[in-house]
């Protein structure tokens, strides 16, 4: 995983991503192949960290309803304060339903609401980079 020489320790970003993926999976007790796990990195503008957190506490009820209606089972976002990176972990039922969230009116309004706080694309969506799943400890079924 490390971009450095073989045997080199992981970078802070890589270590944080591994921690995010492993801790989220362990405490949620994910089993089987019916859940699709995704993780990605975004960022928040300098000085906007507190406001970003405030706007998520809680998110709009109508956005929560859209996420649930589109098969989102769990969704967590973590902030690495030193770099202002946001590590997101989501568990979904179906990739197509996840992608469809972006075309909903409430999602587009949310993006507009958050655009001043974070780097975003021309369509208003936050700039995000998918993380590669490199490790997952899942409960083993007995029998």
User: Could you identify the residue written with the tokens 């202002």?
Assistant: 84
Angle between helical axes of 105-114 and 61-69 (0-180°, round to 10): 130
Q: CB–CB of 137/28 below 8 Å?
A: no
What average pLDDT does the segment 116-128 reach? Answer: 97
pLDDT band with cut points at 50, 70 and 90 for residue 13: low
Radius of gyration of the chain (CA): 16
Extract the runs of DSSP E, i.e. beta strands, from 16-137.
Answer: 36-43, 72-80, 85-92, 129-130
Which residues are the active-site residues? 56
- For 52-99, how does the pLDDT look when each residue is reduced to its tens digit (9 = 90+)? 999 999 999 999 999 999 999 999 999 999 999 999 999 999 999 999
Distance between CA 139 and CA 77 in Å, rounded? 23
User: Could you identify the residue written with the tokens 């089993």?
Assistant: 31
Q: CB–CB of 14/2 below 8 Å?
A: yes
- Would you state the pLDDT for residue 5? 46
Q: Which CATH class is domain 36-130?
A: alpha beta
The pTM score is 0.74
């Amino acid at each position: 995983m490390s971009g450095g020489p073989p045997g080199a320790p992981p970078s802070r970003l890589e270590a944080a991503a591994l921690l995010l993926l492993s801790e989220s999976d362990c405490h949620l007790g994910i089993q089987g192949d019916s859940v699709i796990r995704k993780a990605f990195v975004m960022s928040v503008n300098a000085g906007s960290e507190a406001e970003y957190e405030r706007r998520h506490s809680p998110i709009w009820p109508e956005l929560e309803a859209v996420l649930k209606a589109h098969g989102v089972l769990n969704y967590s976002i973590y902030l690495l304060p030193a770099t202002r990176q946001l590590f997101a972990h989501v568990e979904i039922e179906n990739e197509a339903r996840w992608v469809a969230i972006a075309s909903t009116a409430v999602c587009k309004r949310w993006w507009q609401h958050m655009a001043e706080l974070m780097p975003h694309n021309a369509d208003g969506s936050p700039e995000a980079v998918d993380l590669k799943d490199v490790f997952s400890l899942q409960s083993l079924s007995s029998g």
